[in-house]
Amino acid sequence: MVNISLIPDEPGCYLYKDENNRVIYIGKAKDLKKRISSYFNKNHPDPKTRALVKSIDSVDFIVTGTEVEALILESNLIKRYQPKYNIDLKDSKNYAYIRLSGDKFPSIGIARKKGKTGEYFGPFVSAKERDYILSVVKKTFRLRSCRRMTKRACLRAHIGTCSAPCTGQISEIDYAGQVKSASSVLCGNTKDIISIMDSEMKERSKSLDFEKAMMLRDQADALRHLSERQHIDRKKITDEDVINFVQRDGVIYLMIFSVYKGCLAEKQEFVFDAGEDAFEEFLVQYYSENEPPSEIILPVEIDSALTEFLSEQKGKKVSVTIPMKGDKKILLDLVLHNVETIFFGGELKISELKKRLHLPENPDVIECFDISHLSGTSMVGSMVSFKYGKPDKRNYRRFKIKTVDKIDDFASLAEIVKRRYSRIMAEGGDYPDLVIIDGGKGQLSAANNALEEIGVKIPVISVAKREEEIFVPGFSHPLPLKKNEKASLFIQEIRDEAHRFAINYNRLLRTKEIIDK
């Protein structure tokens, strides 16, 4: 099943899989958790999405640095897996190219397939990415987009986004220079052109040609924004494996990004015991069963004999790179970030929560309470448990309110808190490290009083929904935690899970009441 709590609040791509572990849908998101949650927290009007959600058995994800990186990665993954519920790319416009025509004054536009003379760039799996690049290049270099040249300036010429070769406002030589620059950018070469533009802008400023200098400045800024491309989408003719790992408590947590022709094709995760030469032993075992790529990017040096072994396995030279800076180092760091997020996301959240709440110990076990009712009917309580930052569903509990007959959240909370910890006390069980109450100062006071009545001492806080304010006993003002801080987001995540669990139980009871009638 899909465990939303394990998904980070970061940009990236998500892969939905069915019960046979086949990828059935791929999407990108600015916030992975929010996007994935939206599939399961609302009713979908279209039958295709309902069928998709019904078929989802698990979700995988890859964290990226930016939303733009996620967009390009989505394209690469869709191209590789061609999932059932994504758009049928063969019948869509997604495989279109960007074309510079072969005319005297070349035009720029979209081509569904190669055929006519000119330069073709692509194909682009993502229509959104393709259209964005086309728009930036067309406006930056002021290339014409009309099918045929007339002798009358078009609207684009009047607003300054076309150089208007149709009316002779630019020479053939100057226009050819703009086309050459556009072609270079479409091939992925932006750094040199930006540098040239910056130099020319300074020269124009010195000669008081401020209008041209401003145009060059705007063009360079547009290209800088365009160059925010995905690090794993570099223009390459070779294949790469990018490997990084974390060693902790005698265990190695490792991840491999396999990059083919500059496009991320897949990622794999491994966990094995640490030890002397354990990493190199892994490489020998892995590449005995899988053909090495032309280049392997690693975080540490390896024995030269192992490099020779890799070349022998492939049948030609394999380069082993340990980058200290540049695109390869950024990509290596991205793999490390994914290792930390996937394997240790819960630990990071716990550590941050301990720090911000000034707790004496790590809150490894957290229990959260919520009350749900509909106008005072079917009043129920819920308790969810998080262990090491992840939901511990075996210890979720539901409560029918027994001693409160009217709408009274305070009394209802006091009842279920007292019942929960009185039972643990009687059975000699372990108390949680932290208790969270859904509500404000009133709910917190009720729960704290209940704990004091039975003589149980547990750190307890509450979180108010409207401003996500965090309250602790004895203080009238909320803690100085911003609602978008990591600790606050973790508290909200736990509270939301308790709320969801309570509402589901409330609905179940109401349904039973209707059936019984």
C-alpha to C-alpha distances, 77 to 74, 180, 232, nearest whole angstrom: 5, 31, 12
Q: Give the separation between CA 160 and CA 142, rounded to whole angstroms.
A: 8
The residue type found at 41 is N
How far out from the chain centre does Cα 246 lie? Answer: 21
pLDDT of residue 245: 94
Largest CA distance in the chain: 93
Q: How many residues does the chain have?
A: 517
410-413 long-range contacts (CB < 8 A, ≥24 apart) are 410/442, 410/443, 410/445, 410/446, 411/446, 412/371, 412/379, 412/381, 413/369, 413/371, 413/381, 413/437, 413/439, 413/443, 413/446, 413/447, 413/450
Return the structure tokens found at 475: 């203080």
Tell me the residue ranges of DSSP E strands in 194-262: 240-248, 251-260
Structure-token match 């073709």, residue found: 120
Start-to-end C-alpha separation, the chain: 34
Strands in 58-63's sheet, in edge-to-edge order, are 23-29, 12-17, 58-63
pLDDT of residue 234: 45
How far out from the chain centre does Cα 105 lie? Answer: 42
| Span 118-127, average pLDDT | 69
Indicate if the pLDDT at residue 193 is higher than 80: no
| Span 310-339, average pLDDT | 89
Q: Give the separation between CA 127 and CA 334, rounded to whole angstroms.
A: 25
pLDDT of residue 419: 95
- For residues 38 and 193, which has the higher predicted lDDT (pLDDT)? 38
Highest mean pLDDT among 20-24, 156-160, 502-506: 20-24
| Span 140-151, average pLDDT | 83
298 pLDDT band, cuts 50/70/90, is: very high
From 21, 124, 42, 119, select the one nearest 75 (Cα to Cα): 124
**133, 141 Cβ separation under 8 angstroms:** no
pLDDT of residue 402: 86
Indicate if the pLDDT at residue 146 is higher than 80: yes
Q: Which residues pair with 463 in a beta bridge?
A: 438, 470
**497, 5 Cβ separation under 8 angstroms:** yes
**463, 391 Cβ separation under 8 angstroms:** no
Q: Give the separation between CA 234 and CA 227, rounded to whole angstroms.
A: 11
**194, 220 Cβ separation under 8 angstroms:** yes
Structure-token match 């690090």, residue found: 231
Which element (helix H / strand E) includes 367?
A: strand 365-374
How far out from the chain centre does Cα 200 lie? Answer: 39
90 pLDDT band, cuts 50/70/90, is: very low
Report helix, strand or coil for 85: coil
**Signed CA dihedral, 131, 132, 134, 135: sign only:** positive
C-alpha to C-alpha distances, 51 to 26, 46, 86, nearest whole angstrom: 15, 9, 12
233 pLDDT band, cuts 50/70/90, is: very low
- For residues 73 and 100, which has the higher predicted lDDT (pLDDT)? 100
From 167, 166, 162, 192, select the one nearest 180 (Cα to Cα): 192
223 pLDDT band, cuts 50/70/90, is: low
**285, 256 Cβ separation under 8 angstroms:** no
Which element (helix H / strand E) includes 266?
A: strand 263-273
**386, 5 Cβ separation under 8 angstroms:** yes
C-alpha to C-alpha distances, 342 to 232, 250, 338, nearest whole angstrom: 19, 18, 6
The residue type found at 203 is E
The residue type found at 433 is D
pLDDT of residue 271: 87
Q: Give the separation between CA 373 and CA 310, rounded to whole angstroms.
A: 64
Q: Give the separation between CA 359 and CA 351, rounded to whole angstroms.
A: 10
Report helix, strand or coil for 268: strand
Looking from the CA of 449 toward its CB, the CA atoms found within 13 Å total 12
Strand pairing class (240-248; 295-297):
parallel
261 pLDDT band, cuts 50/70/90, is: low
Q: Which residues pair with 60 in a beta bridge?
A: 15
Strand pairing class (319-321; 295-297):
parallel
**112, 99 Cβ separation under 8 angstroms:** no
pLDDT of residue 345: 75
Q: Which residues pair with 251 in a beta bridge?
A: 248, 273
Structure-token match 């975080």, residue found: 299
Q: Which residues pair with 400 in a beta bridge?
A: 380
pLDDT of residue 384: 94
Write down all domains in the chain, each with its CATH number in brackets. 4-86 (3.40.1440.10), 95-232 (no CATH), 233-344 (3.30.420.10), 365-516 (3.30.420.340)
Strand pairing class (434-438; 365-374):
parallel
pLDDT of residue 244: 95
